[in-house]
């Protein structure tokens, strides 16, 4: 009798867990769920982009500051890898939810309108998918270049006088190559465009729109986009113009 009650309890627990998992799966794959996932992952990515930019801008303070910052990040060990894995999950979630939304929108309107209008959308909104995929391709190259040292192993192996990874020299040498700097500048323009629309639409996806704050929210995306673009391109431009010199 006791075993029967225990089995029934276990079956009920499993059924409850399956129901919960089914609800989560259904919500995430729905259009509303995909919007929430895209907005939440986008928020995490915006935060990372801003923090990453601020850290990299220390190149203007000289090799000691930038290399010390890089050494500090490396000293966090497993925490750094947890952050990297979390970032990867956010990127994948953002891409998958974006593709899912595009698919659902297409399914909801299989027949295109005879006359299409773009009165309520700008070029940034209409090119989100394309700019996003190009940015992903750039991220892969960026990781191979500066994070993993695959594309420029000689620069990646450099050490400063204190025996630390010479990130400063690696960055300067990389940006001294016009093609590398040009690809970086173009990619940052696309990132700025992506953020200009995405950071603003994020508030709507999260249900934070309010007549009192909508005018402010509409300016957040463009402001972040311009800030990220100007902040990030300032480094390759400064290197090409000779304002930042090799160590």
Quick one: CA torsion of 210, 211, 212, 213, rounded to 10 degrees?
A: 60
What lies within 8 Å, CB to CB, of 197 at 6+ separation is 122, 124, 125, 128, 221
Determine the Cα–Cα distance for residues 2 and 22; give it in Å rounded to an integer: 30
**pLDDT (tens digit per residue) in 164-200:** 999 999 999 999 999 999 999 999 999 998 888 777 7
φ/ψ bin of 165: left (φ > 0), alpha (ψ from -120 to 50), beta (otherwise): beta
**pLDDT value of position 108:** 67
Predicted confidence (pLDDT) per residue in 76-128, tens digit? 988 988 998 999 999 888 888 888 877 777 776 655 545 544 445 556 566 66
Percent residues over pLDDT 70 in the chain: 77
Which of 24-28, 31-35, 42-46, 86-90 has the weakest average pLDDT? 24-28
What pLDDT does residue 119 have? 44
CA–CA dist 38, 25 (Å, integer): 15
pLDDT, average across residues 200-210 = 71
Q: Kindly report the pTM of this predicted structure.
A: 0.78
- d(CA 96, CA 98) in angstroms, rounded, equals 5
Catalogue all structural domains in the chain, each as residue range(s) with its CATH number. Answer: 2-240 (1.20.1300)
Mean pLDDT, the chain, rounded, equals: 82
Lowest-confidence segment of 28-32, 187-191, 222-226 by average pLDDT: 28-32
Q: Per-residue confidence at 19, pLDDT binned at 50, 70, 90?
A: very low
pLDDT computed for residue 118 by the predictor:
46
């Amino acid at each position: 009798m006791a075993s029967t009650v225990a089995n029934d309890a276990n079956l009920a627990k499993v059924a409850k867990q399956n129901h919960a998992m089914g609800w989560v799966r259904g919500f995430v794959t729905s259009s509303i769920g995909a919007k929430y996932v895209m907005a939440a992952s986008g928020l995490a990515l915006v935060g990372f982009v801003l923090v990453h930019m601020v850290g990299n801008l220390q190149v203007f303070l000289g090799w000691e500051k930038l290399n010390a910052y890089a050494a500090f990040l490396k000293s966090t060990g497993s925490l750094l890898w947890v952050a990297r894995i979390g970032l990867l999950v956010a990127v994948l979630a953002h891409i998958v939810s974006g593709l899912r939304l595009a698919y659902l929108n297409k399914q909801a309107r299989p027949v295109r309108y005879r006359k299409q209008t773009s009165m309520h959308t700008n070029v940034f909104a209409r090119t989100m998918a394309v700019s996003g995929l190009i940015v992903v391709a750039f991220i892969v190259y960026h990781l191979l270049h500066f994070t993993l040292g695959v594309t420029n192993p000689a620069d990646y192996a450099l050490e400063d006088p204190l025996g630390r990874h010479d990130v400063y020299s690696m960055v300067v040498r990389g940006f001294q190559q016009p093609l590398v700097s040009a690809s970086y500048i173009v990619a940052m323009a696309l990132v700025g465009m992506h953020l200009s629309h995405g950071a603003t639409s994020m508030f709507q996806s999260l249900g934070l729109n309010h007549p009192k704050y909508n005018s402010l929210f509409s300016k957040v995306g463009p402001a972040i986009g311009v800030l990220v673009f100007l902040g990030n391109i300032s480094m390759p431009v400064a290197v090409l113009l000779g304002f930042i010199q090799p160590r």
